[in-house]
Amino acid sequence: MRFASQTSVALAISVASLAESRPSLSSSDAGKTSRRWLRGSDKIRGVNLGSQFIIERWMAGDAWSSMGCGNSNDEWSCVQLLGQDAADAAFRTHWQTWITADDLKEIQSYGLNTVRIPVGFWINEDLVNDGEYYPRGGLEYLDYIVGNCTELGLYVIMDLHGGPGSQFPGQQYTGHVVDSPGFYTGDNYERAYQFLEWMTERAHTNSAYFSVGMLQVINEPVHSGEYPSEAADMIADYYPNAWTRIRDREAQLGTADSDKHHIQFMGEAWGSGNPNQNLPDTTFAFYDDHRYYKWDTAVSATQDGYISAACSDNRGGSDIIVGEWSISVADDAQYNSEFDIRDTDANNDWYKQFFAAQVQTFELSGGWVFWSWKCDYIAGFNEWRWCYKSAVDAGIIPKDAASAASMSPC
């Protein structure tokens, strides 16, 4: 279904009827509805909608090229290259076609119950300063995707993936690749708080956003070992104030406790420090754990090594969600005889086991969100190790996500 065929994104949806179709999102109290994910109900099983609203060239190279972005490395530089109006038109075409209503239906059909939507702060164009280069017009497409998620009963984690000033250096996911992170200032914190307040209000007052139950206050900030003062300031200042600004806005809106958002931070395993250290409260707090065995040098880059690492892992309790992971392996091993997937299916059975082992381990915690649903032909071939949809098509990932843990070799 093309976006252009949808004349309205303000969906007239009955909260009660939605709750009846989504038992994993409804309250344990009979007749009561809630947007919160209930711990102890179904595990979170989901996919990221990566490169929808923040395009990462490494995983969407064909789309990037078709937009005319050339050799530019991020959204900022593409807007500079094309000029604002031409860039807006190019990005609009991408937003219409990268994730469609059919994609979301397919996601639901595979037994997935959650999508994590990475967005940049600039999707609220009022927060963009003069001299900053970001595409305009994405909000109506976000409304469209979120509205379809609500219709389908897909729980939504709204992830502030790209913060003002860029929260991590050298990364396309920030929307602006920088040498030194600029997020950790009072002015940029304030813009992030305003984004979170705006999204909080939008989620509580727009019926299309009923499935938005979790707000992630920032994705992948700097590590304390590399940027100790920035990480410490974020823990001391940004995290508690982000919490307070969300809760204060909910109080102003008269939001019932059963309807308040879960608020998500990067977990301590990420390396920025203890996110709880200065929070005024931790009721409905969740934590995001990105677990890529690919980049863990402590893991032996062999088939047995990866399976052993996944089976023996312990990510934490039910408030921990592994919000990004894949079945990719170390760069220097991915094309050897144990792991190659180019023009061969010799290793397919092993990848099935690697997927299932991770699912079983992550479901000992709160659940998982795979990175990512869709990608282009990475490195010139169908690199399904990063792409859930392609991996299902290849027969690696089962069509019933709930069945994966029982297939684990652990």
Q: Catalytic site residues? A: 220, 324
For residue 178, what are the contacts with CB-CB under 8 A and spacing of at least 6? 165, 166, 169, 170
Instruction: Using CB atoms within 10 Å of the CB of residue 78, give its burial: 0 to 12 exposed, 13 to 18 middle, 19+ buried.
Output: buried
Instruction: Read off the DSSP letter of residue 129.
Output: P
In angstroms, the CA 168 to CA 162 distance is 9
Q: Which amino acid is at 163?
A: G
Within 266-347, residue ranges assigned H as helices are 303-312
Asked if 46 contacts 155 with a C-beta cutoff of 8 angstroms, the reply is: yes
Indicate the SS3 state at residue 47: strand
SS3 content of the chain, % helix, strand, coil (to 5): 40, 10, 45
In angstroms, the CA 386 to CA 379 distance is 12
What is the DSSP code string of 49-90? -TTSSS--GGG-HHHHHHTT-TT--SHHHHHHHH-HHHHHHH
Which helix (H) or strand (E) is 251 found in, with range? helix 239-253
For residue 195, what are the contacts with CB-CB under 8 A and spacing of at least 6? 121, 124, 127, 160
